[in-house]
Amino acid sequence: ALIINALGNRIFQLENLSDCDDTQVMIHALNDGKNTIDIMAAGTAMRFLTAYLSVTPGTRIITGTQRMQRRPIQVLVNALRELGAEIEYIINDGYPPLRITGHKLQKDTISLPGNVSSQYISALLMIAPILSNGLTLTLTGEIISRPYINLTLQLMNDFGARAKWLNEYQLKVEPQPYQSIPFYVESDWSAASYWYQIAALSNKAEIILPGLFETSYQGDSKVAEIFQLLGIESI
């Protein structure tokens, strides 16, 4: 939601943002304005910001910890370069740090293996509405993270994008600017699952988990149905 809101000119504030490292690093990077962005060990921030910086004006360096500089990012960089992005490896090919010069990307079709990290796919989808011609993304082979892709699509559409599956393996995003809207970020159902386990192991427990939606885009919201079979009631 942070990247989408930034691409939509950030008129409104996002509510219920997580205090995890990835979120806090992302907030700092989007608001800092410095030419060098240090995302430390935040892998999600590295992937999403690499795409974001590719379509926003200016030249920036994005780097991280020594461990982060050993984490490959070549799949995403290759995809962005294929769309026309200007990205340079500063030390080792395939790894951060990166020097990125942002500008309008013209190409509108790309293909990726379906078994890559969903964050690569989400990073490309989220910048697609502001590309000159939108984006048609084809995923080849088995798609291992469809629920996370669907979550990204729904979030994009909430902010005014037009993004959808054309068929089982192909996604289409129209060129249409995001609309900045008031938005309440749902809490993490994956994290909630641990509290469900605690409740299941307790003789008697009542746990309040704020910010979760009964009707959720998150695939892990199924945890409520699963634990209902063990006698755990969610209201």
pLDDT digits (tens, 9 = 90+) for 132-176: 999 999 999 999 999 899 999 999 999 999 999 999 999 999 999
Q: Do residues 234 and 224 touch, judged by C-beta distance below 8 A?
A: yes
Q: Are residues 77 and 28 in the same domain?
A: yes
Work out how many domains the chain is built from and give that number.
Answer: 2
Q: Is residue 233 part of a domain?
A: no
pLDDT in tens, 28-83: 999 888 999 999 999 999 999 999 999 999 999 999 999 999 999 999 999 999 99
User: Do residues 42 and 9 both lie within one domain?
Assistant: yes
In terms of Cα–Cα distance, which of 118, 43, 56, 126 is closest to 85? 56
Residue 108 has pLDDT above 80, yes or no: yes
Residue 43 within a domain: yes
**pLDDT above 70 covers what percent of the chain?**
99
pLDDT of residue 11: 63
- Within the chain, how many helices (H) and strands (E) appear? 8, 10
Please state the length of the chain. 235
Helix residue ranges, H only, 91-229? 118-127, 146-158, 189-201, 223-228
Question: Whole-structure pTM over 0.85, yes or no?
Answer: yes
CA 21, CA 18: separation in Å to the nearest integer? 9
| Confidence check: pLDDT of 94 > 70 | yes
What local confidence, expressed as pLDDT, does residue 215 receive? 80
Confidence of residue 103 (pLDDT cuts 50, 70, 90): very high
The verdict on residue 46 lying in a domain is yes
Q: Identify the pLDDT of residue 154.
A: 92
φ, ψ at 183 (rounded to 5°):
-145, 130
Range of the domain at 220: 186-228
CATH code: domain of residue 162:
3.65.10.10
| Interaxial angle between packed helices 146-158 and 118-127, expressed in degrees from 0 to 180 and rounded to the nearest 10 | 20
In a domain, 235, yes or no: no
Residue 70 exposed, middle or buried by CB count within 10 Å (0-12, 13-18, 19+): exposed
One domain for residues 112 and 195? no
Instruction: Look at the alpha carbons of 124, 126, 130, 133 in this order and tell me if their dihedral is positive or negative.
Output: positive
